[in-house]
């Protein structure tokens, strides 16, 4: 097994910190984009939304029915897009 090591010569702490930040940013940026794309497509049931909001599913249904939470209805069940749930939370938090 090969032993790997890092040798740092003539590098200031500031340069080293900047390089670490750049590396971390390059790793995180694609993950943020992937998460964002996933959440754009994410749809919650009233039960899932209720758990996230710490309220009952019945209350979520009531909010959907009266338009406080934007939702589409599939049969007897509401489906709530991630962004619509975030909008509701934002309004609730003023």
| CATH for 47 | 1.10.1660.10
Q: Tell whether 39 is covered by a domain.
A: yes
Q: What is the DSSP letter of 78?
A: E
Structural domain boundaries, residue 68 = 14-94
64 burial level (CB within 10 Å; 0-12, 13-18, 19+) = buried
Q: What is the number of structural domains in the chain?
A: 1
Per residue in 33-84, pLDDT (tens digit) is 998 888 888 999 999 999 999 999 999 999 999 999 999 999 999 999 999 9
Q: Tell me how far the alpha carbon of residue 93 is from its chain's centroid.
A: 17
* Confidence band for 15, pLDDT divided at 50, 70 and 90: confident
State in Å, rounded, how far the first CA of the chain is from the last one. 58
Q: Tell whether 7 is covered by a domain.
A: no
pTM of the predicted protein model? 0.65
């Amino acid at each position: 097994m090969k032993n790997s090591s890092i040798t740092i010569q003539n590098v200031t702490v500031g340069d080293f910190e900047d390089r670490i930040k750049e590396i971390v940013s390059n790793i995180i940026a694609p993950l943020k984009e992937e998460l964002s794309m996933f959440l754009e497509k994410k749809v919650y049931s009233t039960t899932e939304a209720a758990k996230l909001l710490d309220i009952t599913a019945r209350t979520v249904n009531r909010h959907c029915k009266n338009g406080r939470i934007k939702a589409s209805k599939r049969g007897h069940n509401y489906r709530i897009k991630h962004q619509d749930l975030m909008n509701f939370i934002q309004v609730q938090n003023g």
